[in-house]
């Protein structure tokens, strides 16, 4: 698959020298990262390393204070309309699913396409049903989130994000809140998406998944990118001591 | 001591149509109070100091004065400002204002306990703030606060009896009229109490059924 040093295509995500503070505490320190179209980047690192904060800056759920973030040609941080324009193109999947509890799965899926993209109810519902079937939730399309398992809810959340036909998908620890037996079904759905060429940035502790699916693994610690490499090199020959220590803790 | 069962029974044919007045006033006042309470709730989240300050003063004034005084202010006070309302109009507005204050307090409590996750998801999907309020926050909030809202509606129904003092011919005033002609206040007033009680019993039962119906959507 494409790699950062492959073709001279403009990256779809370009993060340059980004820093961010919560009060006096610096969560991101001079982070630079670019992601090519179709690339799958896994971000890992100990908790508190800033990995979630970084991907939340990409759709401006968090604001960065220094540096520049350009997504799909739009520079973020300049205006609210830039953030809105990026959010139309970037889907996000959360650790706790964050489905709308008062709406059934189809209505969860059509809310944004109808209100943001101005789709007709009919077209939006047709697409919702199609995507819910794709994540194998066709027979649950008219159930409410509380009636589904965690794995089903997370697959529904993926379908909801896909209904906006995003160009990039961000995953913020999508399997961390799941019971172990449900992790597989969510990762399978993500593998399917990867196989179709979606650009993906995934914060996860699932190193097996990273090894199989990622084009590149990024290791963060204390708000900085310590090391990034294709999975074979990353897992086979990590350069930095901190990376080795982290990997020895998560791989057994 | 005697209790005239016939006088007691005879009161009902006159009280039941009057109960329709109480119910109508309560439903109109509740609708207005829901709208008012919702508007106040949204305004309070804007963080505009002057606005939230003014709403705070209004809340403590309404909560700190008897509703009977508020009803009198609307009926006897407002004409002095050139606003002449019928007894029913004045009563509905007084109750609606009073209740919207209690509803905005209920809503604020409900909001503070709500999971911010769905709102964050809506923001990430690019949904505008207004739509997030109308399609994500408020529907969840109404479902969450259904039990105290139903309770508030029963409080409103009880409050409608207060409008008897500004000449609204509802259940209590009708009972007083009956008592004046039959000289049987115990029977007439007890019948009035039972009619109002039945009304509230029906409302709380309906509320319980709604709660069951929306149980899956509470999340």
- Is A193 a residue whose pLDDT tops 80? yes
pLDDT digits (tens, 9 = 90+) for B33-90: 999 999 999 999 988 889 999 999 999 999 999 999 999 999 999 999 999 999 999 9
Mutate to test the interface with B, among A56, A98, A105 (most CBs of B within 10 A): A98
CB pairs under 8 A between A and B: 81
Give CA–CA dist A8/B47, Å, rounded: 48
Strand order in the sheet with A13-22: A25-35, A13-22, A66-71, A74-75
Q: What is the pLDDT of residue A4?
A: 47
Q: What is the pLDDT of residue A1?
A: 45
Residue A240's alpha-carbon distances to A202, A232, A247, A251, B88, in angstroms, are 21, 15, 11, 16, 79
pLDDT digits (tens, 9 = 90+) for A2-33: 444 544 567 999 999 999 999 999 999 999 99
Give CA–CA dist A132/A251, Å, rounded: 34
B115 contacts: CB under 8 Å, gap ≥ 6:
A96, A98, A101, B219
Beta pairing partners, A221: A224
Q: Which residues of B touch A103 (CB under 8 A)?
A: 139, 217
Mutate to test the interface with B, among A59, A90, A92, A115 (most CBs of B within 10 A): A115
SS3 A63: coil
- Is B177 a residue whose pLDDT tops 70? yes
Q: What is the pLDDT of residue A3?
A: 47
Q: Which residues of A touch B126 (CB under 8 A)?
A: 84, 87-88, 112, 116, 164
Beta pairing partners, A21: A26
Q: Which residues of A touch B218 (CB under 8 A)?
A: 101-102, 146
- Least confident window among A78-82, A150-154, B115-119, B194-198: A78-82
| Pairing verdict, β A13-22 and A66-71 | antiparallel
Which of A59, A61, A111 is the closest to B135 by Cβ?
Answer: A111
Q: What is the pLDDT of residue B1?
A: 62
Higher pLDDT, B199 or A78: B199
Which of B118, B135, B216 is the closest to A98 by Cβ?
Answer: B118
Beta pairing partners, A228: A218
* Cα torsion B162, B168, B169, B175: sign: positive
Q: What is the pLDDT of residue B2?
A: 86
SS3 B64: helix
CB contact under 8 A, B125 and A101: no
Mutate to test the interface with A, among B113, B123, B126 (most CBs of A within 10 A): B126
Q: Which residues of A touch B214 (CB under 8 A)?
A: 102
- Is B219 a residue whose pLDDT tops 80? no
pLDDT digits (tens, 9 = 90+) for A71-123: 999 999 989 999 999 999 999 999 999 999 999 999 999 999 999 999 999 99
Nearest residue in B to A165, CA atom:
B125
Phi-psi region of B169 (alpha: psi -120 to 50; beta: other; left: phi over 0): beta
Q: Which residues of A touch B138 (CB under 8 A)?
A: none
Mean of pLDDT over chain B: 95
* Chain A contact for B139 (CB, 8 A cutoff): yes
Q: For residue B118, give the nearest of A92, A87, A88, A123 by alpha carbon.
A: A92
Mean of pLDDT over chain A: 94
* Chain A contact for B136 (CB, 8 A cutoff): yes
Q: How distant is the Cα of A70 from the closest Cα of chain B, in angstroms?
A: 16
Interface of A with B (CB under 8 A): 59, 61, 84, 87-88, 90-92, 94, 96-103, 111-112, 115-116, 144-147, 157, 160-161, 164
Q: What is the pLDDT of residue A2?
A: 44
Give CA–CA dist A186/A193, Å, rounded: 11
């Amino acid at each position: 698959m494409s790699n950062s040093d492959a073709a001279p295509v403009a990256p779809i995500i370009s993060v340059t020298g980004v820093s961010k503070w919560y009060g006096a505490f610096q969560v991101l320190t001079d982070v630079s990262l670019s992601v090519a179209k179709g690339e799958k980047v896994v971000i890992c690192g100990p908790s508190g390393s800033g990995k979630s904060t970084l991907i939340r800056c990409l759709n401006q759920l968090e604001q960065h204070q220094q540096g520049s973030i350009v997504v799909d040609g739009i520079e973020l941080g300049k205006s609210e309309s830039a953030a809105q324009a990026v959010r139309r193109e970037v889907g996000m999947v959360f650790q706790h699913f964050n489905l709308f509890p008062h709406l059934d799965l189809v209505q969860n899926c059509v809310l944004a396409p109808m209100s943001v993209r101005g789709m007709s109810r009919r077209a939006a519902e047709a697409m919702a049903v199609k995507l819910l079937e794709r994540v194998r939730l066709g027979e649950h399309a008219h159930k409410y989130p509380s009636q589904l398992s965690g794995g089903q809810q997370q697959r529904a959340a993926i379908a909801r994000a896909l209904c906006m036909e995003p160009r990039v998908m961000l995953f913020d620890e999508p399997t961390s809140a799941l019971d172990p037996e449900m992790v597989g079904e969510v990762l399978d759905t993500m593998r399917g998406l990867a196989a179709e060429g979606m650009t993906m940035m995934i914060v996860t502790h699932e190193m097996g998944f990273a090894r199989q699916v990622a084009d590149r693994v990024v290791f963060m610690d204390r708000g900085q990118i310590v090391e990034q490499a294709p999975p074979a090199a990353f897992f086979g020959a990590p350069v930095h001591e901190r990376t080795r220590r982290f990997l020895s803790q998560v791989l057994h | 001591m005697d209790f005239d069962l016939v006088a007691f029974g005879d009161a009902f044919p006159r009280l039941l149509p009057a109960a329709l007045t109480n119910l109508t006033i309560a439903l109109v006042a509740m609708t207005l109070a829901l709208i008012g309470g919702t508007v106040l709730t949204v305004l309070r989240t804007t963080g505009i100091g002057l606005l939230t300050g003014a709403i705070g003063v209004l809340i403590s004034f309404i909560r700190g004065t008897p509703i009977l005084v508020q009803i009198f202010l609307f009926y006897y006070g407002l004409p002095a400002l050139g606003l002449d309302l019928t007894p029913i109009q004045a009563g509905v507005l007084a109750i609606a204002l009073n209740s919207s204050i209690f509803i905005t307090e209920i809503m604020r409590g409900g909001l503070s306990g709500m999971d911010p996750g769905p709102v964050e998801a809506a923001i990430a999907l690019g949904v505008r703030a207004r739509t997030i309020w109308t399609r994500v926050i408020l529907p969840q909030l109404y479902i969450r606060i259904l039990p105290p809202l139903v309770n508030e509606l029963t409080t409103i129904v009880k409050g409608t009896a207060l409008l008897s003092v500004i000449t609204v011919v509802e259940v209590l005033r009708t009972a007083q009229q009956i008592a004046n002609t039959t000289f049987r206040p115990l029977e007439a007033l007890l019948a009035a109490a039972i009619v109002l009680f039945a009304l509230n019993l029906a409302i709380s039962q309906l509320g319980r059924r709604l709660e069951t119906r929306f149980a899956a959507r509470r999340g």
